Amino acid sequence: MQASDFVSSLGLCKDVVVHEATAFASANIALIKYWGKRNEALHLPTHGSVSLSLGPLGSTTKLSFDKELSNHEISINKRKLLPEDTSYQQINRYLNLFRPSENGSYRLISSNSVPTAAGLASSASGYAAAAKALNELHGWNLNTRELSILARLGSGSATRSLFSGFALWHAGTLADGRDCYAEDLKLQWPQLRWAVALLNDEPKAMSSRLAMKVCQETCGWFSRFVELSKGQLAQALEAIQDRAFARLGELMELSALSMHAAMMGSSPSILYWGADTVRVMQCVQHLRGQGMACYFTIDAGPNVKILYQQSQENELRYALENLDVKWLWVNPWQF
C-alpha cells in the first residue's frame, strides 16, 4: 500500500476552513531507537520505540493554501527550498498527499529551534508540526493518535513528536498501519534533563532514511538487532514506571550503541561519529566512574545527547563545560 492510498482510505475532507494555521511540535530523542521498517512507504517500524521530548526545542510551522500557486512553496529557517533539494522533494510528496485540488498549492514556512538535519530530530518535529497545521487548516479535528499516524507518513520518528515528555510508538501489525501510532505515556519524571553536545550542525553526509535502508538490507545481524531492541523496549518501559534512572540510562546507551554497531556492520559501513563524538562518550563513561549518574545516546549524526537528573546539574555542567564543546541544556518538561 502506498501512502496516497492510505490517506484516500481515511476520507479526509479536502476543504480549507481557515486562511492560515500555525503549529508547534517538540523534537524528540529516542531512548530506545527506531531503526528498521516493516513497510517502507508507510514508515512502519520493525519494532516499537520510546522517546523523551526536547521540550521547548522543536519546529514552528505556518501553513496556508493558495489557489494561484502552481507548486508548493516551502521555506525552512528563512531559506526557500528549491525543487531540486531532496528535502523539498520529500516535503512536496508529503503535502501532495493532502492537496485539496489540482488548482493551488500549499505555502509552508517552518523554523526550527534545533539545528536542521544534524541528527537532532528536526525532521521529526517538522512533520509533526506540519500534520498539526494541516489538521487545523482543513478542520479535521483529529486526535493526537490520528495525528501521530499522519505525521509518520512524513518521517517515522515524527510519530513521537506530538507529545511532551515520554512517547511510546507502537509498531503495530496491520498492513495499513492503523495500529502503528504513538501515545503519551502520561508519566511525569520532572528530574530528567537533556544536555545536548552540538558538535557539528552541518547537514549529515547520508540521510537517516537511506542509512536505515542500507543497514536493514546489508547488516548480517539486523534481525538479531530487532529482537534485542524489542527486549530493550520492554525493560525500558519498566524502568520508566519504576523511575529507575540507572537502569533506563544503561538501556538507552545499549540501544544507541547496538544501532550504531548495526550501521558499522553494514555494506557500505556507516559511521556518523567524529572524534568529538567519541571524546564526549568517553567523558560520560569517565564521569559515571566517578559516581555521576549520566548516560549518552546518539542518533543519525555526530551529536551526543546526555540524560541526567536535575539534582546533578551543577556538577555535570562544571565537568562538561570544560570540554570545549557547545552545549544545549534542555528541560523536557518545559513548554
Among the candidate windows 29-37, 91-99, 242-250, 265-273, which touches ligand PMV by CB under 6 A? 29-37
Helix/strand number for the chain, H first, E second? 9, 13
Near ligand PMV by CB under 6 A: residue from 300, 306, 320, 330: 300
49 binds ligand PMV (CB under 6 A): yes
Give a three-class secondary structure readout of 221-256.
Answer: CHHHHHHHHHHHHHHHHHHHHHCCHHHHHHHHHHHH
User: Minimal CA–CA distance to 195: which of 293, 304, 298, 121?
Assistant: 304
C-alpha torsion 219→85→56→34, nearest 10: -20
Query: Binding-site residue total for ligand PMV (CB under 6 A)?
Result: 14
Near ligand PMV by CB under 6 A: residue from 116, 155, 161, 216: 155
Contacts with 270 (C-beta within 8 Å, 6 or more apart), sequence order: 206, 211, 214, 215, 263, 264
Classify 305 in phi/psi space as left (phi over 0), alpha (psi -120 to 50) or beta. beta
Nearer to ligand PMV, 49 or 105 (CB): 49
30 binds ligand PMV (CB under 6 A): yes
Among the candidate windows 135-143, 154-162, 186-194, 282-290, which touches ligand PMV by CB under 6 A? 154-162
Interface residues for ligand PMV in 89-118 (CB under 6 A)?
none
Interface residues for ligand PMV in 117-136 (CB under 6 A)?
123-124
Nearer to ligand PMV, 65 or 94 (CB): 94
Residue 164, CB-side half-sphere exposure with 13 Å CA sphere = 13
Mask 258-297, x = binds ligand PMV (CB under 6 A)? Answer: ----------------------------------------
DSSP 130: H
Among the candidate windows 31-39, 59-67, 188-196, 319-327, which touches ligand PMV by CB under 6 A? 31-39
Nearer to ligand PMV, 30 or 137 (CB): 30
Between helices 245-264 and 208-218, what is the axis angle to 10°?
A: 80
Least distance in angstroms from the C-beta of 306 to ligand PMV: 16
Provide DSSP, 86-103.
HHHHHHHHHHHTT---SS
Neighbours of 273 (CB within 10 A): 18
Nearer to ligand PMV, 65 or 225 (CB): 225
Least distance in angstroms from the C-beta of 123 to ligand PMV: 5
209 binds ligand PMV (CB under 6 A): yes
Nearer to ligand PMV, 135 or 303 (CB): 303
Q: Which amino acid is at 308?
A: Y
208 binds ligand PMV (CB under 6 A): yes
Contacts with 219 (C-beta within 8 Å, 6 or more apart), sequence order: 225, 262, 263, 265, 266
Nearer to ligand PMV, 15 or 202 (CB): 202
Cell of 319: 565537568
Least distance in angstroms from the C-beta of 11 to ligand PMV: 27
Query: d(Cα 178, Cα 230) in Å, to the nearest integer?
Result: 20
157 binds ligand PMV (CB under 6 A): yes
236 binds ligand PMV (CB under 6 A): no
Q: Strands 79-80 and 192-198, how do they pair?
A: unpaired
Least distance in angstroms from the C-beta of 258 to ligand PMV: 12
Nearer to ligand PMV, 49 or 309 (CB): 49
33 binds ligand PMV (CB under 6 A): yes
The residues of the shown chain that bind ligand PMV, judged by CB under 6 A, are 30, 33-35, 49, 123-124, 155-157, 208-209, 299-300
